[in-house]
Amino acid sequence: MRRVFKIILGVFAVLIILLLVFAALIFGDLAAYTATSVETLPQVGTPMGTALVLYDPGLSGAATRVAQQVAAELQNRTLTVTLAGIKSSAAANTTGYDVIVIGGPIYAGAPTASVKDALSNLQHDADTRVGVFGSGQGATTPDDVAQIKNAVPALQSGGALSNAVVMKIGESEDLTARAADFATQLAG
């Protein structure tokens, strides 16, 4: 009987350790530290401006797919797009762009710490249009956008980014259509 109890206790300890590791990955935003790549997508047609799309990949990579699709839609609107991880060298210099998009996964109803930090420390030109996206499970509800805004003081009424376009794109939604709508709101 003692042997069975020790086995059960051992399994329970392993499960607790795995749970703690998983929580550290999510709440410690460790996935953001892998987001260091930078890619420039040339404009299609006559150049009409520049855009920077910064993203935190998250654990599933869904935010990366959203960022790539948003970048492609901005590129289709004749912008030269820099698609970069939120911890990349491109994230350090955010001035000189016509459009800046920052996004990543939504965990527990709020953007990741790296997205919040990037938005709080964003330096941009006065006429730059700013967009913020969150990716997550299920279809988007009005509460999702409100939660993103409430989690980032700069996005709240009177904040430095209160005019930003904020959108959540759920994994069950049509990514191409939602990204096209987001790009249209940002670039026209």
Q: Where are the domains of the chain?
A: 32-187
| Residue 153 reports pLDDT greater than 60 | yes
pTM above 0.85, yes or no: no
- For the residues of the chain, what is the DSSP string, one character each? -HHHHHHHHHHHHHHHHHHHHHHHHHHTTGGGGG---EEEEPPSSS---EEEEEE--TTTSHHHHHHHHHHHHHHHTT-EEEEEETTSGGGG---S-SEEEEEEEEETTEE-HHHHHHHHT----TT-EEEEEEEESS---HHHHHHHHHH-GGGSTTSTTTT-EEEEEETTS-HHHHHHHHHHHHH-
What's the CATH number for 32-187?
Answer: 3.40.50.360
Q: What is the mean pLDDT of residues 40-57?
A: 81
User: Which comes out higher in pLDDT, residue 119 or 38?
Assistant: 119
In this structure, are residues 38 and 88 in contact, taking their beta carbons and an 8 Å threshold?
yes
Percent of the chain clearing pLDDT 70 (strictly above) = 86
- Please report the pLDDT score of residue 9 as a whole number: 82
Q: Which residue has the higher pLDDT, 70 or 139?
A: 70
Question: Quick check: 24 pLDDT over 90?
Answer: no
Confidence of residue 142 (pLDDT cuts 50, 70, 90): confident
pLDDT at 66: 94
For residue 75, the model assigns a pLDDT of 92
Q: What is the pLDDT of residues 102-114, one digit of tens each?
A: 999 988 888 888 8
Q: What pLDDT was estimated at residue 23?
A: 61
pLDDT at 37 over 70: no
Contacts of 19 (CB under 8 A, 6+ apart): none
Q: Is the pLDDT of residue 33 over 60?
A: no
User: Is the pLDDT score of 41 beyond 80?
Assistant: no
* Mean pLDDT computed over every residue of the chain: 84
pLDDT-based confidence at residue 54 (cuts at 50, 70, 90): very high
**What is the distance between the alpha carbons of residues 141 and 76, in angstroms, rounded to a whole number?**
27
Q: Which of 8-12, 53-57, 138-142 has the lowest mean pLDDT?
A: 138-142
| 43 pLDDT above the threshold of 70 | no
